[in-house]
Amino acid sequence: MQKETIATHYGYDTKTGPGAMAVPIYQTTAYDFGSAEAAAARFALEDPGHIYTRLGNPTTDVLESRIAALEEGSASIVTASGQSAIFYSIANLAAVGDNIVVAKKIYGGTMVLFIHTLKRFGIEARVFDSDSADDLENLIDDKTRAIFFETLSNPQIAIPNFKKIVEIADKHGVVTIADNTVPTPIIFQPLNHGIDVVVHSASKYICGQGLSLAGAVVASKNLNAKLVGNARYAHFNEPDESYHGLVYAQMADKFDIYTLRMRVALVRDIGATISPFNSWQLIQGLETLSVRIERHSQNARKIAEFLNSHKHVKRVTYPALKSDPEHEKAQKYFAGGMASGLMCFETDSYERAVKMLGKVKLFKIVVNIGDSKSLITHPASTTHQQLSSEELIKAGITKELIRISVGLENADDLIADLAQALE
């Protein structure tokens, strides 16, 4: 099946149950096992039936299967938020004394999680330049457990050197994790380029209307082979005493062991679980994702072209522009010349940037992205405010930088709004 069909039909059969066309919402916390034997079989992973909605739910199952299929992955887990998905993806690999290597161009909240919060868990974050990856190999040692980057960085709109990152990671047996929130699998599928794990803030484009918080983690079909017998990931190859001595590596012929461990250990214990209702809303979002991404991209390109010629704009960053330094990469990796709806630009002064935000009418001052409505923000004072001046410089965030998430409105109306706000 093609992406549009997967997003609409995969994982649900209308010929089951009453034949409801819409995926039902199973708004329940628990499930009747029917017998003691059935209950024991489920806890022993011998019966795939549900135990408790913290661990799984029939509505969420459909969403997870569709996201995994869209990314062409082995399995996925949907979580309570994008931030919890990122935390799970790292916590599933690293522990106290370990380190991860993180791209300097990533969302500010993610960087704060890695640099500051994970530090309190005893996990060190080392920062590399994902544009070139020239410094990556020197940062890897025997305690490195993951390499994390964004496929289209927020808000810098930069595309990593995928090939080099994957080659170095595979050479050292390190798991790569890519945040694919901005392109979505409609534009780019990281797992088909050798990346091991994909994460999403599904609250963004997958949801599409800013209605529901959610995150997703998707594992590659090749990840089992990287984990089994790998000394870096001993906890996948030794008995897990929290689950009656289960050895995940011994389950590799039946399960994707990365998401299996995440579900039965991390999701079980930490509990950042999506609600069935939010899963249902995201299922609706998936059905129109391909159509929306195409329109977001069309609108964004028109706006980028307008801004690129404006007298009060110093620089526009949007890979669909032929003048953009990342244009060649976008043409190589991204489907149909699309580059999603996120872009950034620098005004000719900090004062104009602040004034502009006060003058926009259609654009709303919101730190979310991927909404059907157009959004605008000043990253240095909002999404990246927690970073020091030095960290802002390293991340490529200036005081003149404006980030916009282009929505589904008429592009000419949006251009008119930006034009009056820039004067």
What pLDDT is recorded for position 396? Answer: 76
Mean pLDDT, range 398-415, rounded to an integer: 95
Burial class (CB in 10 A: 0-12, 13-18, 19+), 323: exposed
What pLDDT is recorded for position 149? Answer: 98
**Band of pLDDT at residue 397, cut at 50, 70 and 90:** confident
Mean pLDDT, range 83-87, rounded to an integer: 98
CA distance 219 to 191: 8
**Band of pLDDT at residue 39, cut at 50, 70 and 90:** very high
**Band of pLDDT at residue 379, cut at 50, 70 and 90:** confident
What pLDDT is recorded for position 16? Answer: 87
**Band of pLDDT at residue 389, cut at 50, 70 and 90:** confident
What pLDDT is recorded for position 241? Answer: 95
**Band of pLDDT at residue 390, cut at 50, 70 and 90:** confident
Instruction: Tell me the backbone φ, ψ of residue 312, rounded to 5 degrees.
Output: -100, 10
Residues 149, 106 contacting (CB under 8 angstroms):
yes
What pLDDT is recorded for position 12? Answer: 96
CA distance 266 to 276: 19
Residues 314, 328 contacting (CB under 8 angstroms):
no
Instruction: Give the C-alpha distances (Å, rounded to integers) separating 50 from 28, 67, 78.
Output: 11, 20, 15
3-277 and 290-422 share one fold: no
**Band of pLDDT at residue 381, cut at 50, 70 and 90:** confident
The residues spanned by each domain of the chain are: 3-277, 290-422
* pLDDT tens by residue, 361-375: 999 999 999 999 999
Q: Look at the pTM and tell me if it is higher than 0.75.
A: yes
Of 409, 413, 394, 423, nearest to 156 by C-alpha is 394
The b/e string for 404-416 (b: 16+ C-beta within 10 A; e otherwise) is bbbbbbebeebbe
Is omega for the bond preceding 155 within 30 degrees of 0, making it cis? yes
* pLDDT tens by residue, 275-299: 999 999 999 999 999 999 999 999 9
User: In the 8-state DSSP scheme, what is residue 216?
Assistant: E
What pLDDT is recorded for position 327? Answer: 96
Note the residue count of the chain: 423
The side-by-side arrangement of strands in the sheet containing 364-365 is: 313-317, 342-347, 401-405, 375-377, 364-365
What pLDDT is recorded for position 398? Answer: 86
Mean pLDDT, range 1-12, rounded to an integer: 96
| Rg of the chain in Å (alpha carbons) | 22
What pLDDT is recorded for position 53? Answer: 97
Structure tokens at 279: 């899963």
Q: Report the CATH number of the 290-422 domain.
A: 3.90.1150.10
Q: Which amino acid is at 20?
A: A
CA distance 419 to 310: 9
The residue ranking higher by pLDDT, 236 or 108, is 236
User: In the 8-state DSSP scheme, what is residue 143?
Assistant: T
**Band of pLDDT at residue 399, cut at 50, 70 and 90:** confident
Other beta carbons within 10 Å of 381: 13
CA distance 207 to 190: 20
Mean pLDDT of the chain: 96
pLDDT over 70 percentage in the chain: 100
Mean pLDDT, range 42-57, rounded to an integer: 94
**CATH class as words, domain 3-277:** alpha beta
Structure tokens at 96: 């106290």
Residues 175, 145 contacting (CB under 8 angstroms):
yes
Strands 342-347, 124-128: pairing is: unpaired
* pLDDT tens by residue, 216-228: 999 999 999 999 9
CA distance 25 to 149: 34
CA distance 172 to 145: 10
* pLDDT tens by residue, 96-138: 999 999 999 999 899 999 999 999 999 999 999 999 999 999 9
